[in-house]
Amino acid sequence: MEVNITINGSEHASDVEPRTLLVDHIRRTVGLTGTHVGCDTTSCGACTVLMDGKPVKACTVLAAQADGSEVTTVEGLKGADGLHPIQSAFTDDHGLQCGFCTPGMMLVGASLIAENTDPSDDEVRWAISGNLCRCTGYINIVKAIQTAAARVAESSNGS
Amino acid sequence: MVAPTTPAEIGGIGHSVQRKEDARLIEGQGNFLDDIDLPNTLHMAILRSPLAHARINGIDSEAATALDGVVAVVTGDLMDQHGLAWMPTLSGDTQAVLATDKVRYQGQEVAAVIATDPYIATDALELIEVDYEDLPPITTPQQSLEEGAALIRDEKEGQTDNLAYTWETGDKGATEEAFAQADRVVTLETHYPRSHPAPLETCGIVADVNSVTGQATIYMTSQAPHAHRTLFAMVAGLPEQNIRIVSPDIGGGFGNKVPIYPGYVVATAASLLIGQPVKWVESRTENLISTGFARDYYMKGELAVTDQGRILGLRVNMLSDQGAFYSDAQPTQFRAGLFHVVTGSYDFPAAHIDCKGAFTNKAPGGVAYRCSFRITEASYLIERLVQNAAYEVGIDPAEMRLRNFIQPEQFPYETATGFVYDSGDYPTALRQALDAAGYEELRAEQAAAREEGRLVGIGIAHFTEAVGAGPAHTYDIAGLKMIDSAELRVHPTGKAILKLGVKTQGQGHETTFAQIVAEETGIPATDIKVIHGDTDDTPYGLGTYASRSTPVGGAATAMVARKIADKARHIAAHLLEAAPEDIERTADKFHVAGSPDQAVSIQDAAFAAYTNLPEGMEYGLEDVTYYNPPNLTFPYGSYVVVVDVDPDTGVWKVRRMVALDDCGVRINPMIVEGQIHGGLTEGFAMSSMQWITFDDDGNCIGSNFMDYLIPTAWETPRFELLETVTPSPHHPIGAKGIGESATVGSPAAFVNAVVDALAHLGVRNIDMPVLPDRVWEAIDTATA
């Protein structure tokens, strides 16, 4: 079947099997491999992308269901003026080790910050509780999301 | 914290420099195994046994083979024709690659489909019909060793029972003597449950065997690419020079990516036979049910103590559940890894360990999950025992430890089981951790809380690890001595390439190893590219596990950098027209002793290495070091956990977790702390929720992340980190390794805390995971 999905601002029209998962479509058909697969039960969140601005687990969405939507993957986080604040904060605060969960964590973090530029520790932890990390113990991920939020708040106050 | 000796722009040891790895990973430009997409790649899916124990009477793969898009169905018979139906394990056993006679655990590999598309390969699995004849499953090692139990390994010549191995170490006579002198014997029987490392990225392979050239390029989630190349050569009979293992970015390993799994062998054989690349990436379920379990030891520990709280001796009897094949990844001479470090941080003269392992109808594996070969089990047992001994003797658990610690002046200290600990100051570490936690106040609060019917527990663990295997005289994997290597080339512009035999899985080698070179040469860490994971482009090494990267590969890096710095010093002498012995090195320059103005930089020396050399000197600035460590290193730590236990539900919450680690010199403090955070979380996971269990039919309960619980950010406690720095005297830069400390040390601290909350009721043990129902039951039984 024909699906037309806007991924990171570019339209991708493709003929896919109806059963094709969005994550497989993104990785194999479109060739963006920053979105990862870490489980088969929608538990780990490594495949998280933003669909029309909201985080979804792309292993549990059919490509067909994403037809007509706008999808942002980790490759689309960076803007014309450089890295998204969440990306630089993850580096600055050592929010990643192996980097496998990182795209999902950053996208959830970016989505949280879009609504709340002063999230508490608990608010961040709740927001990322659908994403698993085996390396960091989450401490520096939480810190990075809060750092990014503060930087976004500061720059919007300044402008 | 120790102040760095290099300026920030050099970024040597002690600087929390940002990681080189991050730039690609935060932009989705990492290159993980499943991201590798070679032209004409075929995809493999594996048919696995639904039964734990059954005879295979036949396999009908006709319908699967006929499915459009299926290229081949591989069965055990086909593998057998090529001599590959079985493979050797790292513990001297053999393991089925694809089952030919029986299946011996649920999830065992029975057949594989090779297809043009991964969805088609999976579809075809459902078309394969296997005629199974049920056999009785054996799901515990106790059942397995009973008289008359069904023989699991009936194919194994000379095997008449289900015993996988026996192992004994220590001095039995001396231990018996110690027990005869004891005022009391404190006993703990506990099960360290089966766990799984479950890195977020599962295991996988892309095997690309070129039928014309014979070149086998194997992309693989490998923590030990060089060792794997040699093992592939030995098992598959391929010439080693034609095998290239490339271990790309790895999404966590934790020991799961040390062994060679059947899927790797099948994919490689399939690529060889078909002449196209074959990719296999495990599903999470495959990962959890078939690869690399850890732990699963039933342990009985006995401590001989005096009424004054002195430990006289330790006796351990253990039974391990090996699953269907004895495939532990561990050094050859040690049947239960380095479990004999079980004497822990304490000074006593006698210990004896008696261990046996049994085959069961469960997945094989026995990997050292974030642990240096069974040290986690050992550390857990001794720290639980010491805590219980304190209760029995009637002294404070902290005081019990302080009375028995190896004292700073006793190092190097030879333990009752023969380890020679390198350095440590245990009393200082414990006292600092206790002070930070406010130990005295906590004990007072605990007493008051008990009056009110509240349950507060304070758990301590003071662990000592033995990591960095290791000296070639004692440690080998499949005969390969556990040395490691580093190769360093400085280019004319002063930029360098460092190549390693070890391989990161997220620990940050590309950053920290560059910092070691920066420290030793003055070349800024940002100017040093670190290459690892590709066997054609790196010197030989045994790989990254058992916290051996820094102790062994890091030492090799320091030593090769010193060779380079020394050659550069000779070149500098030539440029400065001075004698080499008169040249001194500062952080980034060589100068004539007493004349700091007469200096050349390392970059000047590097350029001269290709342009203007002293007579007789070989061109270039490049060297390699193979490092054979003189001893293991012995990181340690003091952990204090405070929990509140709800007496009505058994739910416990970590109120505080204070973790003091001494891993010797810290190369990159930021990265070290990150390692500790992660390790503590996995320790918390094992103590609170994470286990692989089975029903009586051998069905794996815990085959996905809905049943195998790993903590989210919501459950994970906050940690407070402290440090002391006691360098390893034999390591070139004094570092000891940190990747596993927290996973090794923390489970006992968490469990001790919950037991401590109930200790006044007489509770002395709750097995891991300490689930609320187990806590509730312990309270209920104790108060009945």
Give the whole-number percent of chain B exceeding pLDDT 70: 100
Calculate mean pLDDT across residues B725-748.
98
Which chain A residues touch B639 with a CB distance below 8 Å? none
Distance from CA of B717 to the nearest CA of A (A): 9
B435 belongs to a structural domain: yes
Specify the pLDDT at position B2: 78
Alpha carbon separation from B443 to A76, B458, B711 (Å, rounded): 53, 8, 29
Specify the pLDDT at position B114: 98
* Same domain, yes or no: B234 and B86: yes
Judge: B201–A19 Cβ closer than 8 Å, yes or no: no
- Indicate the domain borders of chain A: 2-74, 85-158
Judge: B508–A97 Cβ closer than 8 Å, yes or no: yes
Where is B321: in which H helix or E strand? strand B311-323
- Give the count of alpha carbons within 13 A of B572, CB side only: 28
CA angle A39, A41, A44 (to 5 degrees): 50
Q: Are B70 and B133 in contact (CB under 8 A)?
A: no
HEC secondary structure over B524-552:
CHHHEEEECCECCCCCCCCCCCCCCHHHH
B541 belongs to a structural domain: yes
Q: Are B480 and B626 in contact (CB under 8 A)?
A: no
The CATH superfamily holding the domain A85-158 is [2Fe-2S]-binding domain (1.10.150.120)
pTM of the predicted model over 0.95: yes
Residue pLDDT, tens place only, B578-635: 999 999 999 989 999 999 999 999 999 999 999 999 999 999 999 999 999 999 999 9
* Same domain, yes or no: B553 and B653: no
Nearest to B677 among A73, A125, A139 (CB): A139
Specify the pLDDT at position B416: 98
**At B420, is the secondary structure helix, strand, or coil?**
strand
Q: Which of residues 113-142 of B touch A (CB under 8 A)?
A: 119
| pLDDT tier, B556 (very low <50, low <70, confident <90, very high otherwise) | very high
pLDDT value at B1 more than 80: no
Q: Which of residues 484-523 of B touch A (CB under 8 A)?
A: 505-508
Residue pLDDT, tens place only, B432-483: 999 999 999 999 999 999 999 999 999 999 999 999 998 999 999 989 999 9
The DSSP annotation for B616-654 comes to TPPSS-EEEEEE--SS-B--EEEEEEEEEE-TTT--EEE
Judge: B29–A34 Cβ closer than 8 Å, yes or no: yes
Judge: A140–B677 Cβ closer than 8 Å, yes or no: yes
Structural domain ending residue among the three candidates B237, B252, B287: B287
B162 belongs to a structural domain: no
Judge: B251–A100 Cβ closer than 8 Å, yes or no: yes
Calculate mean pLDDT across residues B128-151.
97
Give the whole-number percent of chain B exceeding pLDDT 90: 97
| pLDDT tier, B366 (very low <50, low <70, confident <90, very high otherwise) | confident
Structural domain ending residue among the three candidates B597, B627, B657: B627
Q: Is the peptide bond before B412 cis (omega within 30 degrees of 0)?
A: yes
* Same domain, yes or no: B639 and B612: no
B322 belongs to a structural domain: no
Q: Are B249 and B28 in contact (CB under 8 A)?
A: no
Where is B191: in which H helix or E strand? strand B184-195
Smallest CA-to-CA distance from B373 within B10, B744, B69 is with B744
Calculate mean pLDDT across residues B413-419.
98
Residue pLDDT, tens place only, A5-46: 999 999 999 999 999 999 999 999 999 999 999 999 999 999
Strands B42-48 and B278-281: parallel
Looking at per-residue pLDDT, the higher value among B255 and A158 belongs to B255
Judge: A136–B674 Cβ closer than 8 Å, yes or no: yes
Q: Which of residues 194-213 of B touch A (CB under 8 A)?
A: 198-202
pLDDT value at B285 more than 60: yes
Q: Which residue of A has its CA nearest to B709?
A: A43
Which chain B residues touch A99 with a CB distance below 8 Å? 21-22, 25-26, 30, 249, 251, 506
Classify B522 in phi/psi space as left (phi over 0), alpha (psi -120 to 50) or beta: left
B458 contact partners, CB below 8 Å, separation of at least 6: B397, B437, B439, B442, B443, B446, B640, B641, B642, B753, B756
Backbone Cα Rg of chain B: 27
Distance from CA of A103 to the nearest CA of B (A): 7
Beta strands in B501-613 (DSSP E): 528-531, 583-585, 589-592, 595-601
Mean pLDDT of all residues in chain B? 97
> Does A33 contact chain B (CB < 8 Å)?
yes
At A123, the amino acid letter reads: E
Q: CATH assignment of A2-74, given 3.40.50.11720, 3.50.50.60, 3.10.20.30, 1.10.1200.10?
A: 3.10.20.30
Specify the pLDDT at position B749: 98
Q: Which domain holds residue B445?
A: 422-467+633-783
Q: Where are the alpha helices (DSSP H) in B76-212?
A: 76-81, 118-125, 141-144, 172-181
B239 belongs to a structural domain: yes
* Same domain, yes or no: B100 and B129: yes
* Same domain, yes or no: B651 and B752: yes
CATH number assigned to the domain comprising residue B237:
3.90.1170.50
Alpha carbon separation from B494 to B50, B491, B560, B605, B609 (Å, rounded): 59, 5, 16, 8, 10
Judge: A27–B34 Cβ closer than 8 Å, yes or no: yes
* Same domain, yes or no: B474 and B555: yes
* Same domain, yes or no: B477 and B551: yes
Specify the pLDDT at position A158: 67
Euclidean distance between CA atoms B10 and B782, whole angstroms: 61
Distance from CA of B231 to the nearest CA of A (A): 26
* Same domain, yes or no: B443 and B523: no
Among B22, B206, B249, B746, pick the best mutation site for testing chain A contact (most A Cβ within 10 A).
Answer: B22
Judge: A136–B677 Cβ closer than 8 Å, yes or no: yes
The DSSP annotation for chain A comes to -EEEEEETTEEEEEE--TT-BHHHIIIIIS--TTS----SSS-S-TTEEEETTEEEETTSSBGGGGTT-EEE-GGG--BTTBS-HHHHHHHHTT--SS-SSHHHHHHHHHHHHHH-SS--HHHHHHHTTTS--SSSTTHHHHHHHHHHHHHHHHHHHH-
Classify B543 in phi/psi space as left (phi over 0), alpha (psi -120 to 50) or beta: left
* Same domain, yes or no: B754 and B668: yes
* Same domain, yes or no: B38 and B26: no
Tokens describing residue B783: 């108060």
Specify the pLDDT at position B211: 87
B349 belongs to a structural domain: no
Residue pLDDT, tens place only, B204-233: 999 999 989 999 999 999 999 999 999 999
CATH number assigned to the domain comprising residue B642:
3.30.365.10
Which chain B residues touch A91 with a CB distance below 8 Å? 18-19, 22-23, 26
At A126, the amino acid letter reads: W
> Does B689 contact chain A (CB < 8 Å)?
no
Q: Which residue of B has its CA nearest to A122?
A: B714
| pLDDT tier, A159 (very low <50, low <70, confident <90, very high otherwise) | low
Which chain A residues touch B25 with a CB distance below 8 Å? 96, 99, 102
Judge: A136–B705 Cβ closer than 8 Å, yes or no: no
> Does B27 contact chain A (CB < 8 Å)?
yes
Q: Which residue of B has its CA nearest to A17?
A: B119
Residue pLDDT, tens place only, B506-528: 999 999 999 999 999 999 999 99
Distance from CA of B25 to the nearest CA of A (A): 6
B764 belongs to a structural domain: yes
Judge: B507–A97 Cβ closer than 8 Å, yes or no: yes
**At B553, is the secondary structure helix, strand, or coil?**
helix
Calculate mean pLDDT across residues B121-135.
98
Instruction: Name the domain count of chain B.
Output: 3
Calculate mean pLDDT across residues B692-704.
96
Calculate mean pLDDT across residues B706-721.
97
Tokens describing residue A72: 């942002």
Judge: B674–A130 Cβ closer than 8 Å, yes or no: no
Specify the pLDDT at position B237: 84
* Same domain, yes or no: B112 and B222: yes
> Does B544 contact chain A (CB < 8 Å)?
no
> Does B720 contact chain A (CB < 8 Å)?
no
* Same domain, yes or no: B707 and B601: no
> Does B250 contact chain A (CB < 8 Å)?
yes
Q: Which residues of B belong to the active site? A: 223, 370-371, 740
Instruction: Enter the ipTM.
Output: 0.98
